Amino acid sequence: MQPIKSPASFIGVNGDHVISFGSGQPDLLPPKEIFKNLETPRLFKYGLVQGDEALREALAREYPAAKARDFVVTNGASEALDLVFRAIHEMHGKVKVLVCRPYYYSYPPVIELAGLEPVYTDLKEGKIDLEDFKKKVRGVKAVLINSPSNPTGRVEDLDTLRAVEKLCAKLGVYVISDEVYKDLIYERENYLIKGKHVITINSFSKTYSMCGLRIGYLFARDPKIVETVVGLKIHTSMNTNILGQEMALRAMKVPRSFVERQTEVWRERRDFIHGGLIAMGFDLWKPEGAFYVLPKINPPTGGSGRVVSELFYKHKVIVYDGAWFGVPGRIRLSYALELPKIKEGLARIKSYIKGKETWLK
């Protein structure tokens, strides 16, 4: 059995009776309004490096007192993260970035590729441990927050978010707030961290099920950040996919009930997968947002990586290794797939763990 070393082996893999709890790729469709009358020459030409003006204006209306000039439209949140860290390197040199662990698997590589150094604060029961955070934030230039979180599915408490916002403002530390799941929250309204020191990252991938179109953005009230990011983007990807930007703009005009209906679908699946895994004896948090669960599983040999390989090669089930997110001894399952597939996947996992119940503690 070939060991599976990273999510790259699984992204885009499906078919052949495979059930994928892997990639966080919504199976739902984007709003149908985005597809009409796209045969316009403008949509196939180069565009503004900072992003389409009309899209940035629409985005600015979503944030209090924001202006179109505060936004850069990027090729997904992924490019926004990449450019922000490189901009911080350009402005401040080789500084440290505080990352909450478990983390989205791209965070450490993207920080290191920018020439910065990640340092970690371990989450307590999946949420920021403010005591540890307060200690570690001294000495870093930026912190990276992700609520609702991939991979934990947890949503930070309002008091914690406000404390992070305030402390970082006082210390002159950037808060990079990855809010790609801000619309997929089941428990309460989200709180969006704000201030001149805050760089918000977001995307159309999850809210509008448009991940393949690669449209994301960053929002910064500090003009120096925006200017530096645009200066880098000219020489890398140039403009973001123009056709995708037009589709994103149209998606924003669709009534909000579209997003609310999707959240109800995720909630139903969340309840199903959470209940199913609990019934099998898994130890996991009930997700409050996003579409991931992160149950414990720790075989006596081979670690959680062994579970990933065996489930894939023997049962055709894709799950991600917690080690990729900084937490070996767990696996991450995305429930962004339809209920009958979740049901079938859980049945296969059940047959795999039969007789292995001690691994789940």
Ligand X SMILES: Cc1ncc(COP(=O)(O)O)c(C=O)c1O
Binding interface with ligand X (CB under 6 A): 24, 76-78, 104, 146, 150, 178, 180, 203, 205, 211, 216
Residue of minimal Cβ distance to ligand X: 76
Q: How many CB atoms lie within 10 A of CB 260?
A: 10
- Sheet-wide strand order for 320-321: 292-293, 331-334, 320-321
Q: Is 178 or 183 the residue whose CB approaches ligand X more closely?
A: 178
| Closer residue to ligand X, CB minimum distance, 34 or 77 | 77
Nearest Cα neighbor of 188 from 161, 215, 216 is: 161
Nearest distance, CB of residue 210 and ligand X, angstroms: 9
Beta strands per DSSP E along the chain: 19-20, 71-75, 96-101, 117-122, 142-145, 174-178, 198-203, 215-220, 292-293, 317-318, 320-321, 331-334
Burial of 256 (C-beta count, 10 Å sphere; 0-12/13-18/19+): exposed
The position carrying tokens 């691994």 is: 359
Tokens read off for 308: 């990933």
Of 110, 81, 175, 184, nearest to 137 (Cα)?
175
Cα separation, 94 vs 227, in Å, equals 20
Q: Which is nearer to ligand X, 29 or 279 (CB)?
A: 29
Closest approach, Cβ 352 to ligand X, in A, equals: 25
Shortest spacing between CB 249 and ligand X, in angstroms: 16
Nearest distance, CB of residue 145 and ligand X, angstroms: 10
Q: How far apart are CA 208 and CA 30, in angstroms?
A: 5
Measured from the CB of residue 26, what is the shortest distance to ligand X in angstroms? 10
Closest CB to ligand X among residues 169, 243: 243
Shortest distance, CB of residue 255 to ligand X, whole angstroms?
Answer: 23
Compare residues 133 and 208 and give the one whose CB is closer to ligand X.
Answer: 208
* Smaller CB separation from ligand X, 200 or 359: 200
Cβ proximity to ligand X: between 22 and 31 the closer is 22
Neighbours of 58 (CB within 10 A): 18
Nearest to 80 by CA among 206, 250, 248, 220: 220
Token pair belonging to 55: 């899209």
Q: Rounded to the nearest whole angstrom, what is the least distance from the CB of residue 266 to ligand X in the complex? A: 14
Please state the closest distance from residue 213 (CB atom) to ligand X, in A: 9
With contact defined as beta carbons under 8 Å apart, do 254 and 65 qualify?
A: no
Please check whether residue 241 is in contact with residue 75, taking contact to mean a CB–CB distance below 8 angstroms.
Answer: yes
In terms of CB distance, is 185 or 359 closer to ligand X? 185
